[in-house]
Amino acid sequence: MYYFILGIITLWVVAGGVAAFFRSLHIFQLSLYDPQPWAKRINEREQWLAHIKLHLAPWYIFKLKKQTKKRLVMTPRAIRLTVTAALFNLLTGAVVALIFAAFLFKGHQGFFVFVVVHSCFIGLIVASAATENFLPLINWLNSPIEKRIGDRYINEAKELIASNSKLITIGVTGSYGKTSVKYFLGTILSGKWNTLITPESYNTTMGVVKTVRGSLLPTHEIFVCEMGAKKQGEIKEICDIVSPKHAVITAIGPQHLETFGSIDNIIKTKFELTDSITDGIAFLNFGNDYIKTRSLDKTTVRYCIGGGTSDYCGNVTGVSERGMTFDVTFPDQTVFSFETRLLGTHSVENLTGAIAVAHSLGMTAGEIAFQIKKITPVPHRLQLHQRGDDLLIDDAFNSNPVGAASAVDTLRLFDGTRILITPGMVELGDKEYELNRNLGRHAAICCDIAVLIGKTNTASLHEGLIQGGFDENQIKMYNTVIEGIAFADSLDTAGKRKIILLENDLPDDYN
C-alpha cells in the first residue's frame, strides 16, 4: 500500500511536469523559439501561477487549452524538442537517483534496495518539476541538428527560386501593413499574372522556405513574399533566399522594440530589403516619417495618402457600412476612383501602395479597380460583422500605434453607441506605457464606452482616457475579451445601435 501511494504521488508530479512542459513549449513556440522573449513571458507572475496550477492539478491544462487562441502545433521541431526534453528528464532523474542512493547507502543490502527505489521516485519528481525551465538549454542541445535541417531546406528553396528564371519576386516588409499589402497585391496581380503569396503570417525565414518548398510551381510568374523580423539581419536572410526583384516598405514604427532595442535598428532592418535589390523598384510609403527621410540610391516610387509629393497619392472620399470609396492621383496627375469593402484610412494607404506596384508592373487603372472590388477584409483586421442591428469591427490582429489610431478613428465615423474593447498594445519596449496612454487619450474623443481587458496595459490606457476628458464611469475592466464582449452585448442603449470595436487581442503568451 505504501509503494502504491508513493507511485500515485510520483505519477501525479510527473503528469504535472509534463503539462507544465507543454505549456512552456507553447510559449517558446509563440516566441519563435527565441529564449529572450520566452524568458520574459515565462517569468511573469501570471505564467508562474499557471505553471504552479499545472503542477498541482495537471488537468488544468485542458482549461488553458480551451482559452488558447493559437494552439501549440507539434511541428517536427517541437517533436524533436519534446524527445530531447524527455531524454533530458530521464538523465536528470537518473543522476539525482544515483546521488541520493550514494549519499544514503550504508552498506546494508536491504537498505540499499530501499534507497534505490526511493531514489528513483525522487529523481523522477525532481526532473519533472524542473524540465520546463530548461527549454533554452534543450533548444541549444538541438541546435546542431536544427541548423543542418534548416540549411538543407533553405538550399532547396534557393534552387526552386533559381530554377524559375521568369519569376518576379516582390518583397514586402514594414513594422505594420505588410500582411495587408501582401494580400492586396495577391488579389490585384492575380488578375493578370499567376501569383503566389506567402500564406497567413508566414513571414519568418523558415515560413518563407516552407511556402517556396510546398507551394511554388514552375507556372508561377509573381511571388509576393512577406518578410517579418524581430532582429537585425533577418530580412537580409530572407532576401538571400528569394532574391527579390522589387521591394515594398509599408511603414516603420516602434513595433518589436523589445527585441530590436532601438528605432534605428528597426529602420536598418527594414531597409535590408531595398539593399538587396539591384535593377528593381523600391516602393516606399512617403507618408511615414522614418521612410521619407531615408536617402536611397535605388529607383524609387513613392506613395501616400492625404496629399504630398508622392507619385501615387490616395484620398478617402466616402465611408459606409459597405466599405469606402477613395481616389488615387497617378504620376501623370490623372485621378482614378476606386471602391473597396475595407474600412480604415490605413487600408486606403495600403491599397495605394498596392496600386502603385500593380500600375508600375503594367496593369491599367481599370484592371486594378476591378480586382480591388474582389478584396475582402483580412481576418481580424477591421473586419466588419453585422450582429442584428449592431456592428462588430474586428481589428483583433496584433495592434500597432498607427493602426490602432486609425481603427478608433473609423469607430468615430459611425453613428450609435460606440464601444471600444481593447487590452492595448504590446512589444513596444520602453515606450509601451507612453504609446498606450496616447491611444487612450485619442480614444477618449472617438468612443462612448471603453472596455479595458487584462492587466498588462490597463493603467496606461485608463490614464490616457482620463487625460482625454473621458467619463470614468464609462470605463469598464474585464479579464478577458470574451467577458468584455458579453458586457457590451448586455448593454441597454435605449434603442441606439451598438458599434463595437475589438482592437487587438493579446497573444497567448501574454494571457
Residue 304's pLDDT is 92
Distances (CA, A) of 176 to 237, 303, 305, 397: 20, 16, 16, 11
Count the neighbouring beta carbons within 10 Å of the beta carbon of residue 191: 15
Rounded to the nearest 5°, which phi and psi values hold at 215?
Answer: -130, -25
Strands (E), 334-382: 335-340
164-372 architecture in CATH?
Answer: 3-Layer(aba) Sandwich (3.40)
Q: Rounded to whole angstroms, how far apart are CA atoms 13 and 128?
A: 7
Q: Rounded to whole angstroms, how far apart are CA atoms 495 and 503?
A: 24
Residue 57's pLDDT is 72
Q: Rounded to whole angstroms, how far apart are CA atoms 363 and 355?
A: 9
- Identify the residue whose cell numbers are 528513483: 120
- Residue boundaries of the structural domains of the chain: 2-143, 164-372, 383-510
Residue 442 carries which DSSP code?
H
Residue 276's pLDDT is 93
Q: For residues 198-213, b (16+ Cβ closer than 10 Å) or e, as one string?
A: beeebbbbbbbbbbbe
On whether the CB atoms of residues 320 and 304 are closer than 8 A, the answer is: no
Superfamily of segment(s) 383-510: Mur ligase, C-terminal domain (3.90.190.20)
Q: In which residue ranges of the chain is pLDDT below 50?
A: 508-511
3-class secondary-structure state, position 297: coil
Residue 124's pLDDT is 57
3-class secondary-structure state, position 317: strand
- Identify the residue whose cell numbers are 546494508: 108
Residue 174's pLDDT is 92
Contacts of 214 (CB under 8 A, 6+ apart): none
Q: Rounded to whole angstroms, how far apart are CA atoms 402 and 175?
A: 10
- Identify the residue whose cell numbers are 492587466: 455
The alpha helices in 432-510, defined as continuous H runs, are: 432-443, 458-467, 481-490
- Per-residue pLDDT tens digits for 290-349: 998 888 888 999 999 987 778 999 998 888 777 889 999 999 999 999 999 888 888 899
Q: Rounded to whole angstroms, how far apart are CA atoms 249 and 256?
A: 16
Residue 505: which of 456, 462, 465 has the closest Cα? 456
Q: Can you read off the three cell numbers belonging to residue 476? A: 469598464
Strands (E), 107-167: none
Residue 509's pLDDT is 45
Residue 424 carries which DSSP code?
-
Q: Which residues pair with residue 337 across a beta bridge?
A: 327
pTM: 0.76
Distances (CA, A) of 373 to 181, 192, 339, 340: 15, 15, 6, 5
Rounded to the nearest 5°, which phi and psi values hold at 258?
Answer: -55, -40
Q: Rounded to whole angstroms, how far apart are CA atoms 386 and 408?
A: 18
Residue 497 carries which DSSP code?
P
Q: Can you read off the three cell numbers belonging to residue 218? A: 514552375
Rounded to the nearest 5°, which phi and psi values hold at 398?
Answer: 50, 75
